[in-house]
């Protein structure tokens, strides 16, 4: 997240520089820097989306495993109660 905030700040600064330099035109170097920043934002967005998908998948797996653990605990308790009912 900090990297994304830094990148957003860099884009704002770059836009400001481009706006200020707009009076005299935009240099090729400034265009290249802006394009580089745009590509970096695109990569970070892609990484962020991948991480969100992985988080969702892991949360679903955790939920499934917790449900299985709860069922096992219920089965264990039921088995224990049934064993206590057996004649000795």
Q: Per-residue pLDDT tens for 51-68?
A: 999 999 999 999 999 999
Q: Which two tokens stand for residue 1?
A: 């997240």
pTM of the predicted structure, to 2 decimals? 0.57
d(CA 1, CA 64) in angstroms, rounded, equals: 29
The whole-number pLDDT of residue 67 equals 98
Give the chain's residues under pLDDT 50: none
Cα 26 from Cα 30, distance rounded (Å): 6
Which pLDDT belongs to residue 54?
98
Residue pair 30/17 in contact by the 8 Å Cβ criterion: yes
Expressed in percent and rounded to 5, the helix, strand and coil fractions of the chain are 90, 0, 10
């Amino acid at each position: 997240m900090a990297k994304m905030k830094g990148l957003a700040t860099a884009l704002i600064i770059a836009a400001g520089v481009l706006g200020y330099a707009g009076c005299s035109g935009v240099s090729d170097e400034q265009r290249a820097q802006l394009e580089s920043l745009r590509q970096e934002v695109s990569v970070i967005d892609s990484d962020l989306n991948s991480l969100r998908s992985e988080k969702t998948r892991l949360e679903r797996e955790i939920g499934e495993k917790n449900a299985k653990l709860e069922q096992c605990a219920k089965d264990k308790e039921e088995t224990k109660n049934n064993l206590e009912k057996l004649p000795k």
